[in-house]
């Protein structure tokens, strides 16, 4: 018997909610999509390759309502990768707007103009009843794996986000981050529970269409990873006024302090709240946030934990630890892993942190981003920050070559290599002979807009 999910019920109960297609102006409520797709009333695994269009939102809502476990994936993934993943996990349904044919599946008549496919195999993958969502991530080896999340994980985190973000029933929020990304999914869920209009757009901030849509629909908030804010600064966002904007959010990695300060001052000057946040997919999205009134005074801090959460630091390793109901139930690297959901009492974040006298937390580096040069422990994230601060916010990427050299990569041809070596020698006593520099055409990014250190390291160390 099908059990209607609590998340879906909460979304359905938001009478102010509208999902809008910016291209056609079509507006739909959650009730318009209620059982709009003819999907089997059973359980199992579904693969949803979602863009941010209205059709994808309709598919997502229909499966959130069901007993199916949803794997969120990017439609831009390599087709061979998709095929291998599907053969490995044998999903009951596959939704992919980019494929007309899927091996081992047949097209269904679930709904008009929806590329929903059903598995032809008679044996379906068994999934633990608590697993509602799978979000694809990559480990340090680059091997694909899913984070297993429950209904409780999702709902508790969404409610904690609503507790501190000023989400209002009259808001107009763009889906400018991918739905398959934990940050983008949290924007979707929190605004679906407490917001107003959600604009289902595939436009990016680098496209004229996005700014036309911002003007047309009068966006009240924007969300971005560090790369997005670097681009916004570069394209002149800070030189204009946006009267409809009430708040900005930033997560997905550390934003350079100098850029953060500029946006913080812009926010103060224009009476916009800027929320700097910290999270991990393993915590369903958010772990902590820095209240806007502290942004400039506590520059670079990840703030304090969200409601229902707790943070501390391991006294031996210096690692940040998180406790809360939004902690995941383990990883899945094969179909058999879906038979288990084991929620831990503590999440070891892998980040090294400190606190100040007021109890605000600061990330100082990743536990795996440390090397030793001639016996001296070097924090690679700190090196990136030092260089970026010195060279006017330019992004630097620091890669270790075993424990022998540091490779400093950048894309600005105007950088003086000697100045880089001299700065590192003066500030952190790294001998110039240990520093290699590399001018890149571009910095590889993951689908979520983060630096792809694995690809970059493979390219630099060949």
CATH number at residue 180: 3.40.50.12780
**Residue 373 clears pLDDT 80, i.e. is over it:** no
In this structure, of 299-303, 343-347, 381-385, the range with the lowest mean pLDDT score is: 381-385
* Whether residues 212 and 269 fall in one domain: yes
Q: Is 58 within 8 Å of 28 (Cβ atoms)?
A: yes
Pair 237, 95 in one domain: yes
Count of domains for the chain: 2
pLDDT-based confidence at residue 142 (cuts at 50, 70, 90):
very low
CATH number, domain at 451? 3.30.300.30
The better pLDDT of the pair 446, 413 is held by 413
Residue 410, SS3? strand
Q: Are residues 228 and 158 in the same domain?
A: yes
Judged against a pLDDT cut of 60, whether residue 141 lies above it is answered with no
Residue-range definition of the domain harbouring residue 388: 370-460
- 138 and 226 assigned to the same domain: yes
Q: Are 258 and 392 in contact (CB under 8 A)?
A: yes
Lowest mean pLDDT across 2-6, 93-97, 320-324, 430-434: 2-6
Q: Are residues 395 and 296 in the same domain?
A: no
Together in a domain, 203 and 159:
yes
Residues 297 and 416 in one domain: no
Residue 447 contacts residue 178 (beta carbons within 8 Å)? yes
- Residue 462 in this model has a pLDDT that exceeds 80: no
Q: What is the number of helices (H) and of strands (E) in the chain?
A: 11, 26
For residues 422 and 334, membership in a common domain is answered with no
**DSSP notation for 60-97:** HHHHHHSEEEEEEE-TTS-HHHHHHHHHHH--SEEE-T
Residue 326: closest CA among 285, 370, 376, 384: 285
Q: Which of 351, 367, 383 is the last residue of a domain?
A: 367
Question: Residues 411, 299: one domain?
Answer: no
Residue that finishes a domain, picked among 327, 351, 367 = 367
Share of the chain above pLDDT 90, in %: 66
Same domain assignment for residues 64 and 75 = yes
- pTM for this model (two decimals): 0.83
Which DSSP symbol is given to 403? Answer: T
Contact 285, 183 (CB under 8 A): yes
Mean of pLDDT values over 293-302: 97
User: Which one of 367, 386, 418 terminates a domain?
Assistant: 367
Q: For residues 258 and 403, state if they share a domain.
A: no
């Amino acid at each position: 018997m099908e059990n209607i999910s609590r998340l879906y019920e909460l979304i359905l109960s938001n009478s102010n909610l509208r999902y809008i297609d910016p291209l056609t102006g079509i507006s739909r409520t959650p009730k318009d999509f209620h059982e709009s797709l003819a999907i089997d009333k059973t359980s199992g695994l579904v693969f949803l390759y979602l863009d941010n269009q209205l059709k994808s939102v309709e598919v997502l809502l229909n499966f959130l309502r069901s007993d199916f476990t949803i794997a969120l994936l990017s439609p831009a993934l390599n087709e061979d990768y998709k095929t291998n993943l599907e053969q490995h996990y044998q999903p009951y349904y596959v939704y992919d707007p980019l494929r007309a044919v899927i091996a081992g599946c047949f097209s269904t008549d679930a709904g008009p103009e929806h590329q929903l496919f059903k598995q032809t195999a008679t044996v379906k993958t068994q999934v633990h009843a608590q697993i509602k969502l799978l979000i694809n991530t990559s480990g340090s080896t680059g091997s694909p794996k899913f984070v297993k999340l429950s209904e409780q994980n999702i709902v508790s985190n969404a409610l904690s986000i609503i507790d501190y973000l000023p989400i209002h029933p009259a808001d107009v929020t763009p889906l400018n981050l991918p739905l398959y990304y934990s940050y983008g999914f949290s924007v979707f869920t929190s605004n679906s529970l407490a917001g107003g209009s959600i604009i289902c757009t595939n436009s990016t901030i680098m496209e004229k269409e996005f700014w036309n849509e911002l003007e047309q629909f009068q966006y009240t908030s924007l969300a971005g990873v560090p790369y997005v804010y670097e681009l916004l600064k570069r394209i002149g966002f800070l030189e204009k006024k946006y009267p409809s904007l009430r708040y900005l959010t930033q997560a997905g990695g550390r934003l350079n302090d100098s850029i953060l300060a500029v946006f913080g001052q812009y926010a103060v000057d224009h009476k916009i709240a800027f929320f700097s946040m910290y999270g991990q997919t393993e915590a369903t999205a958010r772990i902590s946030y820095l209240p806007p009134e502290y942004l400039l005074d506590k520059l670079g801090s990840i703030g304090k934990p969200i409601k229902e959460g707790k943070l501390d630091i391991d006294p031996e390793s210096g690692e940040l630890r998180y406790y809360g109901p939004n902690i995941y139930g383990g990883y899945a690297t094969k179909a058999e892993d879906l038979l288990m959901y084991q929620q831990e009492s503590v999440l070891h974040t892998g980040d090294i942190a400190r606190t100040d006298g007021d109890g605000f937390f600061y990330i100082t580096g990743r536990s795996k981003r440390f090397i030793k040069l001639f016996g001296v422990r070097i924090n690679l994230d700190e090196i990136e920050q030092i260089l970026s601060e010195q060279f006017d916010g330019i992004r630097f990427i620091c890669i270790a070559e075993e424990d022998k050299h540091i490779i400093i990569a950048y894309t600005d041809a105007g950088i003086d290599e000697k100045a880089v070596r001299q700065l590192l020698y003066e500030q952190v006593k790294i001998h110039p002979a240990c520093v290699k520099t590399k001018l890149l055409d571009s910095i590889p990014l993951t689908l979520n807009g983060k630096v792809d250190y694995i690809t970059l390291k493979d390219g630099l160390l060949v």
